[in-house]
Structure 1
Amino acid sequence: MALVYLRELDAETKFAIWKIEETATELLDRLQLDEREKSLLERFSKGKRTLHWLASRVLLRYLLKTDAFIACPSDTNGKPYLPDYPYQISFTHSYDYAGLMMSQKGPCGIDLEIVKDKVVRIKEKFMKPNELAFIQHDHIEQLYACWCAKEAVYKLQGNKGISFLENMTILPFQYKPQGVMTVMLRKASAVKSFHVYYEKFQDYMLGYVVDEH
């Protein structure tokens, strides 16, 4: 397993990305799992899903600098949390990579996606017409930056009932290989804004956000 990217945003927030090069057995050898986690693994289909889950837990131990067992259950909405550590966390994975963000400031979200042209075909499913109006001629990277931003906010807020299309709106922004955009999240009658950072990482797009309030 190779650490390919580690970034400390400040003293309380950081994220890391690993390239998965091990087998499932090799990753398992580096973990201590409880019965709940063993049962969860048994329900996975063999392949990438298992590797992603195992690698993300190995990465968690790396960032927490421990070889001991780490309790990392999920709440009723599937959002993972650390009952024994003062961090909020968010996992992501795509193809050969697994990522993790952790913060002591508040809820956080991270998303990593490989950049492919299929996003052009599904853009209307997650972007409103007024959002698509500022996209630069079906700019694939900008569309992926928008997808990653909405996914990161979705993970941060932790509610399954939130729709990318109906509940989130991205304000117009000029795309660059690395930048920030504002995402408005509407839940019931409340509206909240988030500054979501994005950047190109090799052939992937990365988006991440922290709620500091």
Structure 2
Amino acid sequence: MPKTATIIEVAFAHYDEAIPLPPLPKALSERQFKRWKSRCLANFLLGKLFEKHQLATQLLDNIQLTTSGRPFVAHPNIDFNISHSGDWVAVILCKKEAAIATPKKCVGIDIEHPQRSRRYADLLKHYANPEEIEGLLHQNHTPFTALIDRFYLSWCIREAVLKSQGVGIVKLSEVRHLPQQRLIESAHCPTGKLCFYYQLPFYLCYFYEAIEYCQPKLMQWQQGKWQTIDHIEPLVYQVNPQKADN
């Protein structure tokens, strides 16, 4: 198999993981402090990935925002995305080799660490079409017996593909999810693949634009070092395969 010219790595860490922190801003509420710590942890994870792949960490000192609020760095070969929920933070990094004369590939990620129960069936009906509702609630075209797992599958895949383009959750209903075919269709993202993990202490989903021979790597930062997560397999979805044929 040819060696890939693009690297994709997904990393996560617990909120309480010991990391170097900048000076604490004054007069933060408990909620503000947690958001600040989560941002610091996301930047730390990205910094470690940048160091690993010999990328200039100074780029992270000047993270910019698109008009829709999506963070990025001014580099033609790098894309990344960040997500945090509850006690966990996750990032995804895509690095394209400079010699490859194609635009950088986009990525998106969503992590969900549920803190309380919700009315999952009612929530689904707010954004899912009848076909998906039938496939998730009644026929259950998924490996999951619990409704909570089926709901977060439906939710996370939408967040991941929309975040790859900086599109907000207002467009949730414009992502078509076909659970039986493991297929996603949306005008708001390019052709690619999507991976959903349900075996972790949280739900994790990431999207990456179509890349031949690319094998994304999943890692946890724990006790000062990387731990590769290779003992579990995600559900894998095709995203917009019809676009690649046009």
- Normalised to the residue count of structure 2, the TM-score between the two structures is 0.64
For residue 54 of structure 1, what is the aligned residue in structure 2?
A: 40
CA-CA distance at 1:11 after TM superposition? 5.1
Q: Which amino acid aligns with 1:106?
A: K
CA-CA distance at 1:122 after TM superposition? 1.4
- Within the candidate set 115, 139, 146, 2:147 is matched to 139
Q: Which has the larger radius of gyration?
A: 2
Does the CA-based 8 Å contact 2:191-2:210 persist in structure 1? no
- Mapped to 1, the partners of 2:6 and 2:169 lie a distance apart of 33
For residue 182 of structure 1, what is the aligned residue in structure 2?
A: 183
Q: Which amino acid aligns with 2:177?
A: I
SS in 1 for 2:91: strand
Quote the sequence identity (%).
20
CA-CA distance at 1:201 after TM superposition? 4.0
Distance 1:203 1:156, change over 3 A: same
CA-CA distance at 1:10 after TM superposition? 8.6
Distance 1:161 1:92, change over 3 A: closer
| Total equivalences in the alignment | 184
- Larger RCO of the pair (alpha carbons < 8 Å, separation 6+): 2
Distance 1:111 1:50, change over 3 A: same
- Tell me the alpha carbon deviations over residues 106-139 of structure 1, each in whole angstroms, 9 at most, x when there is no partner: 1100111024541344121232221111112772
Q: In the alignment, is residue 74 of structure 1 matched against residue 65 of structure 2?
A: yes
Q: Which structure 1 segments of 5+ residues have no match?
A: 1-8, 30-37, 175-180
For residue 164 of structure 2, what is the aligned residue in structure 1?
A: 156
For residue 109 of structure 1, what is the aligned residue in structure 2?
A: 108
CA-CA distance at 1:151 after TM superposition? 0.1
Q: Which amino acid aligns with 1:122?
A: L
CA-CA distance at 1:171 after TM superposition? 1.3
Q: Which amino acid aligns with 1:168?
A: V
For residue 22 of structure 2, what is the aligned residue in structure 1?
A: 28
For residue 101 of structure 2, what is the aligned residue in structure 1?
A: none
For residue 208 of structure 2, what is the aligned residue in structure 1?
A: 210
Distance 1:139 1:10, change over 3 A: farther
Distance 1:68 1:76, change over 3 A: same
Distance 1:208 1:52, change over 3 A: same
Q: Which structure 2 segments of 5+ residues have no match?
A: 96-103, 212-246
- Tell me the alpha carbon deviations over residues 15-67 of structure 1, each in whole angstroms, 9 at most, x when there is no partner: 1001121589x5226xxxxxxxx9xxx8x962322121111111111111179
- Mapped to 1, the partners of 2:134 and 2:8 lie a distance apart of 34
Q: Which amino acid aligns with 1:16?
A: A
SS in 2 for 1:202: coil
For residue 13 of structure 1, what is the aligned residue in structure 2?
A: 8
RMSD over aligned Cα atoms? 3.3
- Mapped to 2, the partners of 1:127 and 1:195 lie a distance apart of 20
Q: Which amino acid aligns with 1:83?
A: A
- Within the candidate set 162, 168, 176, 2:175 is matched to 168
- Mapped to 1, the partners of 2:75 and 2:191 lie a distance apart of 30
Does the CA-based 8 Å contact 2:109-2:159 persist in structure 1? yes
For residue 32 of structure 1, what is the aligned residue in structure 2?
A: none
Does the CA-based 8 Å contact 2:50-2:57 persist in structure 1? no
